[in-house]
Each structure stands twice: as structure tokens, then as C-alpha cells.
Chains A and B, each alone.
Chain A
Amino acid sequence: MAYTFTRRIAMGLAASAAMFATTATGALAEGWKPQKPVQMVIMAGQGGGADRLARLFQSIIQKENLSNMPVLPVNKGGGSGAEALRFLKDNEGDPHIIMATLNSYYTTPLRTDIGVNIEDFTPVARMAEDTFILWVNADSGITSLEEYVAAVKDAGKDWKMGGTGTGQEDSLVTAMLEKEFDLEMTYVPFKGGGDVAKNLVGNHINSTVNNPSEQMGFYNAGKSVPLVAFTPERLAAFPDVPTARELGHDIVYAMQRSFVAPKGMPEEAVAYYTAMFEKLSQSEEWQTYTSEKALMPAFLTGQPLQEYFLAEREKHQAILDAMGDDSSS
């Protein structure tokens, strides 16, 4: 019931927006409103998963007229997001900057000394958690985690696990897998998740831990096989894929997709953006997207979100430490 209600609001908004282009959003927020275009900083380069998602958010905001000023995506992907983090720090108190985050929000300040403490930033909203699944090529004949572990043990260093850059999410999941099953694979880093997915299907690597959205096309065409999901519960889009936890292995890892703002953003501005993202999280486009791409919608704001960030930072510190000095020095 609540869902249809908000949907109606959204549709009404869109319709009225068409008629009263500028006045339509007046009802969205009493009090503070952006006075100039809002910069949406993206912690990654153009074309990757994070970029695509941020631009999806922007398009929904625009389509549903959730902001009275345009939201402009700006890519600052240098140094695994170090550039974006630094930018946020240097623009303390600016009410017209928000940043779309991924897990490098924790790992980059931990791995490199850029003088950023994420505790200082203002949490706005967590939109979703992206999920990780273990994939193999359909030609491999492997259909279960058990067979997978046996095959990797057999191949040893000849087993090629593909993923994104060293120290980024995919390599962390791989490290957890290696530790849990006492495996030793060769990790081959690629530039982005799409590149990884293609190399699996082309048989240049043996397995990946792609996000579902990156393998979806190949999976539908029967070219890749999901073995196990690193989620707390089974994914609706993959009802037959067991979770690692079900099989007795406690590997759970997710990529948060959130928005944060600079330190000292006025409270009214934070309230405005929080309301904007709440409307966004209820929009039909977003809900369709999350269910199709097997994202876990996980809306969270304010202090609980900050606590989540800090807990995740602890977790990542532990994983990085376990990975050894070669990658975290």
C-alpha cells in the first residue's frame, strides 16, 4: 500500500513538473533548497559500475524532479578515489557537494596516507548493498562450491582468479576465499568488472567474484555459472544459488552504495538531501533496477549510517592486515 502511494506521488510530481517546471518541487522540502547546481562527486572513473550507478541516480532525480537544481555528476576517480576524498575534505561546509561512495571509501584512506578521516564527513544515505557471487565458465563443468574447491586445489597456482585492481573489493573477497579453504590461486587484476566478466567467458581466466550486474548478460545466455553467493541470505534473482553461510563457510561481503557530504554541511541541507534520496529509494525505477540487478536495497541514514561506516572500516582494516604487507604498505 505504501509503495503504490509513493509511486503515485512520484508520478504526480513528474506530471506536475511537466506543467510547472520550476515550482513543482516546492513541496519537497520546506526551508533549505539548493541555490545552485549540486555536484555529485563519483569516486571512480567513467564507465565503471560505480559510475553507471551514480548516473542512474542522477537520471532518476532528474526524471522524477526530486531536486529543484540540476545534479551534475563529476568523476574524481584518481588514486582509487583518493582524489574525491581529498576534494570532499577541502570543501568543508559546502552545501552543494555530495559524494557517491563505494568500498574504497574505507580502503583508500587505510591504504594510502591522504590525511582523510571518514569520521569527519557527514553521512547522508545508504542506497543499497551490491552483492558478490563466485562465477565459473559454463564449459568448466563445475556446478558446486565443493567441486570448485577440489578443482582449485588440483590446479594450485595454475588456477586464475580474475578481478578488479589489487586491494579493491574483488581481491579482498578472493583473499577471504583463499583463507577459508586454504587455497592458493593466481590473482589477475583487470581494469573493471566488465573486463573481468568478458575474460571469464572467453576462458582467459578460470573464475571471478563479479557483481551480479556484471555477469547477468552472460548468465542469461548460459555462458557462466554462479556457484555461491557471499550474501547473508539467498538472492531473489538467483533462488537456486546457495549462500556461503548455508554451506557452513562464514564469508559475507557487500559493496555499499551510499552518499556522503563534506564535514560541517548545514543540517537543513543534510535533511534536504536525505529526503531526496528517500524519495529516490522509493521510486519505481530504482526498485525495478535493484531486483533485476540483484542489489540489496538497504536504505539507512544519519547516525546509524555513520556507525555502519565505522564498523565497516574496522572490518576492512582486518582484511587488509590479513592480506599482508605487500598490498597495504
Chain B
Amino acid sequence: MDVLALLADGFATSLSPINLMIVLLGVTAGLFIGAMPGLGSVNGVAIVLPLTFIVPPSSAIILLAAIYYGAMYGGAVSSILLGIPGASTAVATTFDGRPMAQQGKAGLALIAAAVASFIGGTISVILFTLFAAPLADLALKFGPAEEFALVLLAFTTFVGLGGDDKLKTVVMICLGLVLSTVGLDLISGQPRLIFGDIPGFYSGISFLVLAIGVYGIGEILYTIETSKTAPQVTPARITFKELGYGIKRMGRIWKTMTFGSVMGFFVGMLPAAGATPASLMAYGIAKQTSRSPETFGKGNIEGVAAPETANNAASTGSLLPMLTLGIPGSPTTALLLGGMVMWGLVPGPMLFIEQPDFVWGLISSLYTANFAAVAINIALIPLFVWALRMPFTVLCAIVMVLCIVGGFAPSQKMHDVWLIAGFGVAGYLLRKADYPLAPLVLALVLGPLMEKSFRQTLIAEQGNVLAFIERPLSGAFIAIAVLFFVLPFVRYLRKGSRRSIVTAE
């Protein structure tokens, strides 16, 4: 009851005309920023942060939350339309979103992503409202050993996904892990794999550079070769009938979306883990539990919905440790945290007690931002789809420019642009040789986290490998990971035996 009263007070703040305006503006800006390959919520929040001093802190945080949400929605747009994930959290969305766009169902895929994002956002905000305080203690239970087990779980979901050539998947994971070791080693402070002494490699290879290279440039090269003049993408139209159909289709996969939301929220809440493993695991689980797993990766709407619910839910979840513990779960929440410090707010266990107006104003603005985002997103779908109907010769040039600008903007180093070009050629060759690209990109994202937590645990436990299994939480995660790894084989064997029975008949 207490919670509801506080939330009502929060709504009184967030629903004032000026704050509503701010939400609409922020969501729209966030959508476009998120839809550009290379720009994501981090850039959006960073650009706007200094502007927030003109308005009172409660309005400022609403603006930032709106941009944060808008960008999360927008991230799916570039994944689906161009096949370039704008953020690591949107990689899993390309698996089925891209094939849907190629089949002329871009509109449907975008609707699925928007609705799924809305459901993920809403369920996670409700969880946040009800359990924020007790859940903070759970986040504290996560030490390095638990982090490692969780990332391992994300990896095994991936290998277990199957479909692609298993050996090629493993090769790409290894390649990604090697790339992830480039740069300064956290534990010893020494530079690794900097190719002689190229300063640009000190800060490592960023996800964006690799993803824009292999997905963006690689895809363009591949398309130029395979399609010459004919557009590779079937032109898509969007009608109200399709909208209704899309929403009805979504109703049938509510189980996947509910699960994705709850899991996304919990994984996102853990500092360091965040939305990327959450979206991957949601995709993997949706595929494992589906009655027709073979349609995944070929344009299954469930394959768009699962990661999108999870990554949106995770982005809400990552606000929890930021507010209650003062620990950002992602680069974007780190910036939000910086903003709070500037406004004189002290995040931490006392924030909920000392600044209830601020906290509940923020939570209520998450509800409004979510509503605004889904409405604006659906309204803009025709515009996004229209962009796809451009002649390929024009689209190709635009995407090329977006790729280079998107790669240069975050670090402002030519070094990254050359890397993108190199990865582009590599991506093209790998695609020709039929190597899956997602394991490469995701290994680069998850690799450093996994290496760091593994070594931290071994240092802390003085080399005792059993520590991973002895701790209850990490032990449980590792058990599930093993199960995931084995499950596809079991299913394969069972199917195999069933098939042999059929042939025997």
C-alpha cells in the first residue's frame, strides 16, 4: 500500500504537462539515436546530460530515462532493417529480425520488437516497483565467481543453439575471445596484443568497431556481390491489418515474453552482467522450448520478441543496482549515476529513504516513457519501412556513411575507422565461407567479463578451481550451463531414435 501511495505521488510529478512534453521529446530523440548504427543510449545520454541543468533534477532524470528507453527501442530498428546491431544488446535481434526483413516482413518484425520491448519494459518496471529494496541485497551476493558462472551460462546457451555448423561456431567463439584480449590487461596492467606498439590498441577493440565492420561493411560487400542491381530486401508495406495481425501473433507467444521479461530483469540487475547475456539467454531458451526450433534463425517472430523483451527488461533492471548500491550495471547507467551526483543526489542504500520524491518520480516516469516509446515507435514504423524501399544503390551509400560515422564518433580516432574497414573485408570473407558472425561478436563482448571474473576468483581463492562449484549460486549456474550444453545432444539423440522408428515402420 505504501508503495502504491509513493508511486501515485511519483505520477503526480511525471504526468505534469511539462514533464509529459519532455518524455515525448526524449523518447523521439532516443528512438532516432538508437536506430542509427553505432549510436546508442550511451551517446544519447552523454549528449543530453549537460542540458539537464536547465530543468529541475526530477524533470532532468525523466528526460534521461526517456532517452534511455527510446534508444533501447530504437536499437532493434537498425538490427532488423540493416542487419547491423547498434549495440551488443541487439545482436540477438538480428538472428530472426534480419531474415524477416529480407522476406518483406520488416513491418511485422518492427511491430514485434516494439510490442516485445513494451512488455519487457512494463513487467520489469512492475518488478522494480514492488521489489527494488530487497533485490538490492541479491545483487550484492554476486561476486566474481557468480559473474563467471553467469557468463559461462550465456556462452553455453549460444553453443547449444545449434543450427549452424557446431565446429565453425566454436572457431568463431575462439577468434572472438582472442580479439577480446587485445588491450590493457586489468590484472597485471600490461598491454597485450598491441601489434608492436600501436597506441590505438591500448583501449582494446570495441564491440561497435567489430560489429559495424563485419555486419555493416561486410554485409554491403556481400550484397553488392550477390545482388548486383536487384534489391536484396523485398519491399515491405505496413497496413492497419498487418498491425492487428502482428499484435494477435504476439498474444500467442506471451509465455516467451513473460519469461524473457522476468529473466531479463534479474540478469540486468546484476552489476556487470547486463542486457547482452540476458537477450542471448532469452533467445536460446525460446528456441529450446519452442515446438519448432528449426524455424529459428529463418524469420521466426518469437526470435525477435524473446531478445527484445529481455534487453528492455534488463535495461530497467540495471537501474536497480545504480540507485540502491551506487553501482552502474552498464555504461549508460554510469552516465546517469554521474548526472545524479551532479544534482547532489547520493545513490546508495539511503537514497530510497532520503529522496523518495526523486526515486518514485523516476520509477513513474519509466511507466510513462514506456507508453510513449511504444506509441511513437509504432507510429514511425512506416517511415522506417519506407527507408528500406530506397533503391539499393542509394541505401548502400547511406549505410556506408552511417557505418563510418558511427564507428568514428564514439572514440574519434581514425584508428577505429581503419579497423572497421579491415573487419569489413574479414566479415565478407567469413560470410562467404559460411562462418556465423554472431559468436565472434558476442565472444568479444562477453570475453573480457569472463576472463576478469575467472582470474579474480582464482586470485581470491588462491588457485582453487573448485570454488566455482562450492559456492551455491555459482554452482547452480554452472549446473544449468552444463545442462544447456548437453540438452541439444540429448534432443538430437531422441529425435534420431524416433526417426529410426518411423523409418522402421
Residues of A within 8 A of B (CB): 46-48, 51-52, 55-56, 58-59, 62-63, 74, 77-80, 82-83, 86, 111-112, 114, 157-158, 160, 165-168, 186-191, 194-195, 197-199, 201-205, 216-218, 220-221, 223, 285, 288-289, 292, 327
Contacts and interface: CB of A to CB of B under 8 A. Distances in A.
A83 B202 contact: yes
A198 B325 contact: yes
B326 interface: yes
Nearest to B471: A204
Nearest to A168: B189
Enumerate the 8 nearest inter-chain pairs by beta-carbon distance, A residue then B residue, closest first: A217-B348, A47-B334, A78-B203, A204-B143, A79-B202, A221-B349, A202-B140, A78-B202
Given A47-B334, A59-B53, A63-B53, A79 B140 contact: no
A46 B42 CA distance: 10
Which size class do B's interface residues fall under? 35 or more
B189 A165 contact: yes
Interface in B262-301: 271-272
Given A165-B186, A166-B187, A186-B459, A194 B199 contact: no
B396 to A, nearest CB: 32
B271 to A, nearest CB: 6
11 contacts: A47-B337, A79-B203, A82-B202, A83-B203, A158-B462, A194-B327, A195-B327, A199-B143, A203-B143, A217-B348, A217-B349
B108 to A, nearest CB: 37
A83 B199 CA distance: 7
B346 interface: yes
Interface of B: 42, 46, 49-50, 53, 139-144, 183-184, 186-189, 191, 199-200, 202-204, 271-272, 321, 325-328, 331, 334-335, 337-338, 341-342, 344, 346-351, 412, 452, 456, 459-460, 462
Contact of A51 (B140, B142, B186, B338): B338
A59 B327 contact: no
A187 B189 CA distance: 13
Contacts of B459: 186-189
Given A47-B334, A165-B189, A188 B349 contact: no
Contacts of A62: 50, 53
A45 B334 CA distance: 11
Nearest to A220: B350
A58 B143 contact: no
B208 to A, nearest CB: 14
B59 to A, nearest CB: 16
Contacts of B203: 77-79, 83
Contacts of A165: 186-187, 189
Given A52-B338, A188-B460, A80 B184 contact: yes
B189 A205 contact: no
B336 to A, nearest CB: 10
B27 to A, nearest CB: 23
Nearest to A70: B50
A112 B184 CA distance: 12
Nearest to B336: A47
A186 B460 contact: yes
A79 B191 contact: yes
B349 A59 contact: no
Contacts of B456: 188-190
Contact of B199 (A52, A86, A197): A86
Nearest to B271: A198
B193 to A, nearest CB: 13
Nearest to A108: B189
B81 to A, nearest CB: 28
A122 B20 CA distance: 48
B338 A327 contact: no
Contacts of B49: 55
Contacts of B346: 216-217, 220, 292
B204 to A, nearest CB: 8
B23 to A, nearest CB: 23
Contacts of B349: 217-218, 220-221, 223
Query: Chain B CB within 10 Å — which of A55, A80, A205 has the most?
Result: A55
B189 A111 contact: yes
Given A77-B203, A157-B462, A202-B142, A194 B328 contact: yes
